């Protein structure tokens, strides 16, 4: 019969071991391998290596392919003393991972040498239960959920797009939601603005939204801005937020928000709807085009009628708003490929998505290098709720 000692000896003979000093050297140069911590959750919570990902030994085989799809990636596994990581490294080698190593001495040796460690925020028992479905996803886990809880997202508008985005961001545990809206709840809003209800008719939308969010997730802080966005208040309102969701109701407001986001370096997730069609893109300063790259000037009013004039299918803002919320969560978690330089268009009648490539305008007056940006309130070019401009305008 084979003993644990025999298994460990065989694993160490089959896999490469690296010292903590070697790993620290790589970390210090800014080019570390992918570090996988195979300890249990309570050990991880006590501290881990900077930049490490948590993948407990008991879940290794089931989850590693989702976390590390590239079998040619350079991996260094570690545990408390280097035993479990050696066994885990051998398992990964058997699964076809080609560049796997185990850190000798594990976290204990790393800590004794005085190398940097990170102690993650520990979720409370109620939070672990509420976000349980997030915690089992390797791309989220406790570290990612703690990041969401610490995040601050600003929503421009508590209408058709802001409603679903706010509800799902709150449900996901985004810790602070700012909501900018100067309107009150009207009966015609309820066909699509699911934050509100018949009971809140006549209330400010910010108050109605805060009530709905608190009922869904009392742990989310809501900061209401019962005012219209202007050049005088936009920088004050935007200050401190990590991401902005653009559900603005007119082109001048979209331009103003875009310009302020470029100045602040804050990504803005833009959405728009028109009858049965919707569009989503992520405007990330310095990484892709801004809104003025796409629209140097507002389109003529007859090409972009308001929702009051053209109408919108009630579920369409829900679809687009949820796509915006998905973009926000990806940005906050640092996962996936955001819609930077890409426009995702949805046709509700045909149930089809298609994608358009977007390019930065090298002569853009706002986001080109060295541009001097002045925040202004432009003359209105259109009115009504968010409208998707015809595809030819892009």
Active site residues: 307
Q: How many other CB atoms sit within 10 Å of the CB of residue 386?
A: 30
DSSP string across 325-345: HHHHHHHHHT-S---BTEEEE
CB-count burial class (<10 Å; 0-12, 13-18, 19+) for 318: buried
Total count of residues recorded for the chain = 394
CA 178 to CA 109: how far, in whole Å?
Answer: 44
Alpha helices in the chain (DSSP H): 4-14, 20-29, 41-45, 60-67, 83-94, 106-112, 125-130, 132-135, 141-150, 162-172, 205-216, 234-238, 251-264, 291-294, 307-310, 316-333
Distance of CA 100 to the CA centre of its chain: 30
For residues 361, 367, 373, 376, the Cα torsion angle rounded to the nearest 10 degrees is: 70
CA 73 to CA 56: how far, in whole Å?
Answer: 19
Is the separation of the CB atoms in 81 and 139 below 8 Å? no
| CA-based nearest residue to 90, from 79, 80, 77 | 77
Token readout for 386 is 């968010």
DSSP 90: H
Q: Which residues contact 208 (CB under 8 A, 6 or more apart)?
A: 158, 185, 195, 196, 197, 200
Token readout for 322 is 């949820």
In the sheet that holds 34-37, the strands lie side by side as 16-18, 99-103, 74-78, 34-37, 53-54
Distance of CA 175 to the CA centre of its chain: 13
């Amino acid at each position: 019969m084979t003993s644990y000692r025999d298994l460990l000896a065989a694993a160490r003979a089959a896999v490469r071991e690296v010292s903590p000093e070697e790993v620290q050297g790589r970390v210090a140069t800014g080019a570390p391998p992918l570090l996988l911590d195979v300890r249990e959750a309570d050990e991880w919570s006590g501290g881990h290596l900077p930049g490490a990902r948590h993948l407990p030994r008991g879940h290794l085989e089931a989850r590693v392919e989702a976390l590390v799809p590239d079998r040619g990636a350079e991996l260094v596994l570690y545990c408390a003393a280097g035993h479990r990581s050696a066994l885990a490294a051998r398992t990964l080698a058997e699964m076809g991972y080609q560049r796997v190593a185990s850190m000798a001495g594990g976290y204990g040796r790393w800590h004794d040498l005085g190398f940097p460690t990170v102690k993650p925020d520990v979720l409370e028992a109620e939070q672990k239960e509420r976000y349980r479905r997030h915690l089992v996803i390797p791309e989220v886990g406790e570290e990612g959920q703690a990041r969401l809880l610490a995040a601050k997202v600003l929503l421009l508008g508590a209408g058709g797009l802001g409603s679903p985005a706010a509800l799902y961001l709150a449900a996901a545990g985004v810790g602070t939601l700012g909501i900018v809206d100067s309107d009150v709840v009207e009966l015609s809003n309820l066909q699509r603005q699911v934050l509100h209800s018949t009971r809140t008719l006549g209330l400010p939308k910010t108050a109605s939204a805060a009530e709905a969010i608190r009922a869904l997730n009392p742990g989310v802080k809501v900061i209401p801005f019962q005012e219209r966005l202007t050049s005088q208040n936009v920088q004050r309102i935007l200050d401190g937020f990590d991401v902005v969701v653009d559900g603005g109701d007119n082109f001048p407001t979209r331009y103003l928000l875009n310009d302020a986001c470029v100045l602040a370096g804050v990504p803005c997730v833009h959405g728009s709807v028109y009858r049965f069609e919707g569009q989503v893109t992520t405007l990330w300063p310095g990484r892709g085009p801004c809104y003025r790259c796409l629209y140097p000037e507002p389109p003529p009013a007859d090409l972009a009628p308001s929702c009051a004039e053209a109408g919108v299918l009630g579920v369409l803002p829900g679809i687009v708003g949820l796509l915006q919320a998905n973009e926000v969560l990806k940005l906050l978690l640092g996962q996936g490929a955001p819609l930077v330089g890409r426009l995702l268009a949805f046709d509700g009648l045909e149930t089809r998505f298609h994608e358009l490539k977007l390019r930065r305008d090298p002569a853009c007056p706002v986001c080109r290098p060295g541009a001097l940006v002045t925040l202004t309130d432009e003359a209105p070019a259109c009115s009504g709720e968010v409208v998707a401009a015809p595809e030819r305008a892009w």
